[in-house]
Structure 1
Amino acid sequence: MKAEEELAIKGAHLLGPSLESKFDELKYEITHKIDKELTDSQNAREYICQKYDELCSKIQYLSELDATVTGFRSDVRAVEKQVTALAGRVDHIEKRALYRDCPSLTSSNF
């Protein structure tokens, strides 16, 4: 029995360090993979946050641009109304001037 125990102990010692180094290697690979995944997810999170901030800035810029364009449109409509009113007044003045300058038909008959 002692020979079998000694053989088992010697076998365990022979396999032990090799088996232990395999576990250490596996532990290192798992830890390394977890660290890599963690780093990748942190980088992805930072990238998404950066893109989100850029998107928010663009939305803010476009909102301000929309407000500016809306203001310009309002100003153009107001100027258009003023030009239309002014054109109507000019037409009215031109008609009065034409009537004054043209002799009437009734006066040319006399």
Structure 2
Amino acid sequence: MNANVTDEQIQQVAVSAKPFSLVQLRWTADRHRDGADAIELEHQRRMVGLRADGVIAILCPVLSETLAGVAVMTVETERAEEIMAEDPCVQAGMMTYEVFACLSFPGDTVPR
């Protein structure tokens, strides 16, 4: 940790914060229903497409039996809710989702 961060540096970062939406996807008990693999593939195709379109800035599938993934979306929370309600896994009852308003800092990325 860099202990030499000044109050001014914190303020500079804080003023650059922009609104985003954080989506949390959770698996349900119907995750392994008949036809689940095909439905999940369509979910993946859709999420990767949203990423390619810039609607999802960061996409993080989670290797868990409960948490399916998280995504940082570049749209307002209301629009993120609409988008996720149309997700194939959500519509099939295999996943649920929550959308949270959040702030992040333009230019932040995950390392290569």
Structure 1 length normalisation: TM-score?
Answer: 0.20
More strand by share: 2
More helix by share: 1
TM-score (norm 2): 0.20
Higher normalized contact order (CA 8 Å, seq sep 6+, divided by chain length): 2
Larger Rg: 1
